[in-house]
C-alpha cells in the first residue's frame, strides 16, 4: 500500500510541476488568442475533460508504445509501462485542469494592467512576470490544486498506459481496484477514505484561497 501512495504522490508532484512550466505559458497564449485557431487549440487541450480516460490511454499507448513514433526517437524500446510514460500521460490528461483556470484568470485581467505595465517601461516579458503572473495567482493556485488532485486520482489512463506493475506503475487507484478485486475491503476502505479526505481538503483550501483573494482585491 505505501509504495503506491509514494508513487502516486511522486507522479502528481512531477506532473503538476511540468504542467506549471507548460500549461501557464500555453494558457497565456490561449487567453490572448481570439481567432478560430486559438479556440481549436483550446478545445483540443480541453478534450481530456470529456474523453473517457481509456480512450486517452489507448492513443497514448499507440503513441508511446514499442510501435509508436516517440520511443525510438529517444533510443528506447518503449515508454509505456514506465514512470516516464505515466508522467507524459498524466500531463496530457491533467492539462485542461491547469490551462482552464489559468486561462480564465488571464482573461479576467483583461488588457488593462498589461498596457499599464508597458507604459511604465516594462518589456512584454517583464510585464508577464511582474504583472500578469502575480495578478493571475488565484487561477494558478486553482490550477495547481486541481492538477495535483486530478493526477492523484488517475485510473484509466494509468491502467492502459502503465499496466499494473507494483512499485513502478501501480498507483493508488489501481491498488484500490485490486484490493476490491481480491476482497481486501479493509485496505481499500482506508485508501478510499484517505483519497476522499485529501480531495475534500484540497478543494476546500482552493475555495478558501479564492475567497480570500477576492476579498483582497475588492
Partner 1 sequence: MIEAMFAGTLGQFSLDVALELPGTGVTGLFGPSGCGKTTLLRCLAGLTRLPGGFLRVGDDVWQDGQRFVPPHKRQIGYVFQDSRLFAHLSVLQNLRFGLLRSSEKHMLRSGEKHMLRSGAKHIAEADVIGMLGLEPFLARYPAKLSGGERQRVAIGRALLAQPRLMLLDEPLAAIDRAAAHEILPKLRDIAVMFGVPVIHVAHDMAELERIADFLVLMRQDGRIAATGPLGAMLTDLSLPLALRQEAAVVLGLTAGDYDEAYGLTLCNGPGLSVTVPARLGVGEKIRLRIRASDVSLARERPAGSSILNILPARIVEVQIGEGAHINLVLGVGEGERLLCAITRKSWDVLGLRLGDEVFAQVKAVALAAR
Residues of this chain that interact with partner 1 (CB under 8 A) are 112-113, 115-124, 126-127, 130-131, 134-135, 137, 216-218
Phi-psi region of 183 (alpha: psi -120 to 50; beta: other; left: phi over 0): left
Task: Select 127 or 195, whichever has its Cβ closest to partner 1.
Answer: 127
What is the maximum alpha-carbon separation in the chain? 66
Best CA proximity match to 97, nearest among 22, 187, 188: 22
In angstroms, rounded to a whole number, what is the distance separating the alpha carbons of residues 65 and 59?
A: 10
Cα angle, residue 152 at apex, residues 61 and 75 outer, rounded to 5°: 35
Dihedral sign for Cα 96, 99, 104, 105, please.
Answer: positive
* The residue to which cell 510541476 is assigned: 17
Best CA proximity match to 138, nearest among 48, 205, 196: 205
Task: Select 62 or 120, whichever has its Cβ closest to partner 1.
Answer: 120
Amino acid at each position: 500500500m505505501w509504495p503506491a501512495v509514494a508513487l502516486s504522490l511522486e507522479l502528481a508532484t512531477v506532473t503538476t510541476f511540468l504542467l506549471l512550466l507548460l500549461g501557464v505559458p500555453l494558457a497565456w497564449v490561449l487567453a490572448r488568442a481570439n481567432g478560430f485557431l486559438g479556440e481549436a487549440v483550446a478545445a483540443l487541450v480541453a478534450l481530456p475533460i470529456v474523453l473517457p480516460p481509456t480512450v486517452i490511454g489507448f492513443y497514448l499507448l499507440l503513441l508511446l508504445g514499442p510501435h509508436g513514433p516517440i520511443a525510438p526517437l529517444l533510443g528506447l524500446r518503449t515508454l509505456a509501462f514506465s514512470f516516464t510514460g505515466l508522467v507524459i500521460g498524466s500531463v496530457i490528461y491533467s492539462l485542461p485542469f491547469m490551462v482552464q483556470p489559468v486561462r480564465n484568470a488571464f482573461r479576467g485581467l483583461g488588457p488593462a494592467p498589461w498596457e499599464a505595465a508597458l507604459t511604465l517601461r516594462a518589456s512584454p516579458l517583464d510585464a508577464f512576470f511582474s504583472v500578469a503572473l502575480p495578478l493571475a495567482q488565484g487561477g494558478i493556485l486553482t490550477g495547481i490544486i486541481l492538477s495535483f488532485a486530478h493526477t492523484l486520482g488517475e485510473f484509466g489512463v494509468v491502467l492502459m498506459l502503465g499496466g499494473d506493475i507494483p512499485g513502478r506503475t501501480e498507483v493508488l487507484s489501481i491498488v484500490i481496484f485490486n484490493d476490491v478485486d481480491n476482497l481486501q475491503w479493509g485496505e481499500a476502505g482506508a485508501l478510499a477514505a484517505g483519497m476522499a479526505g485529501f480531495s475534500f481538503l484540497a478543494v476546500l483550501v482552493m475555495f478558501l484561497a479564492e475567497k480570500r483573494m477576492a476579498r483582497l482585491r475588492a
